[in-house]
Chains A and B, each alone.
Chain A
């Protein structure tokens, strides 16, 4: 059982930032900003997928002191649109994921369906399962419920909350939906249209 603390220090990518972030194990930081402010770029920078300035740390260990693949296994970025390369979801999993599928109301029969026959909502939930199956310590979620109906949004929110508790993981959750962030996050970071943090709660 790990207890992950995630920090970003002076993180800047493109026009966004620099920002500082400190999320403790079991906690979720909600990140909200107008469209085009660069939320996705910020998450990608945290996962070290893009060139960026500043430093990210996992339990005090800088990303630079860890091989990049290991960093990304532990600090997992889940894109809003995940890609699939094989014909069926099953080929994307190298370990069991039944409990996770159950929690998101996905039947294991779906694992053998051609990807393109899955609805966008099923694909989105399946992508979350794929990411969680690697048991990352930090979740970087980019609009993880954008294609879901209310029932499934609720399922995803519960699953993430349970995951954070059982794995002592932490999470940065990007969403347009302020009400959702109020539900899932223990703290909020609001960026303005220029990608700068708002000191006062700006709307």
Chain B
């Protein structure tokens, strides 16, 4: 098997299909045309840029470049997770909590996998390190964004319940125990669904890509299973950490509910 290279004309055909969709939504006045076109342009531009960068980083194979790229990816993911919140923590705490959680879970998982499981030499070989970290960050980001959003929304709406519990002698974390549980679940559901549906309802994107690129299906499947487990681990621990950091921030040292630390977007 060998890779069939795509020409610009091939991509233009696919872009034409998206344009057809945009034309249809515009005719139906669905109000999503602009967003659709912008998103499509962003996809092409961002991926093209990343392609150029990856080509350069792959050619260099230097730890500094890989680390720099990983760091930029982390910051972008942290920003993305923070802007998805309807009620953000004031003073950039949401960005901090999300980014710190992502850093700890994704980076530890990625490095451990490179060193212990894949055992590639050197461990930061960009061909392995960057895609691995990218998949981890992307999924962890989703989990963290969903869970933080759920946490702050639930506590905001349930402030009355929280304060009644506090007044009855509960400490801060006891007072939001069910909200924390909901937030955790919200963050983990996409990952749980993806694991449950993998191979039956959906063919995972990475595996599909590998097969299209000419890998034997069995090899692609093994990598996909590895990735699924890593995503589960990274997302799980990242979400756990983010919910913990967010929950703590909602109370002060006197266990007062501090909704003034949230602001509505």
Interface residues of chain A, those whose CB is within 8 Å of chain B, are: 47-51, 67-70, 72-73, 76-79, 81-85, 130-131, 134
Contact = CB atoms under 8 A, between A and B. Distances in A.
Nearest to A81: B160
A55 to B, nearest CB: 13
Range of interface residues on B (Cβ < 8 Å): 10 to 19
A83 B169 contact: no
B179 to A, nearest CB: 10
A37 B80 CA distance: 43
A73 B167 CA distance: 7
Main secondary structure on A side of the interface with B: loop
Given A50-B256, A70-B169, A83-B160, 13 more contacts: A49-B163, A49-B257, A69-B255, A72-B166, A72-B169, A73-B169, A76-B168, A81-B160, A82-B164, A83-B161, A83-B163, A84-B161, A85-B158
A198 to B, nearest CB: 28
Given A48-B256, A51-B256, A79 B167 contact: yes
B254 interface: yes
A72 B162 CA distance: 13
A76 B171 CA distance: 14
Contact of A68 (B163, B164, B178, B256): B256
Contact of A79 (B163, B253, B254, B257): B163
A68 B254 contact: yes
13 contacts: A48-B254, A68-B253, A68-B254, A69-B255, A70-B169, A72-B168, A76-B169, A79-B163, A82-B164, A83-B160, A83-B163, A84-B161, A85-B161
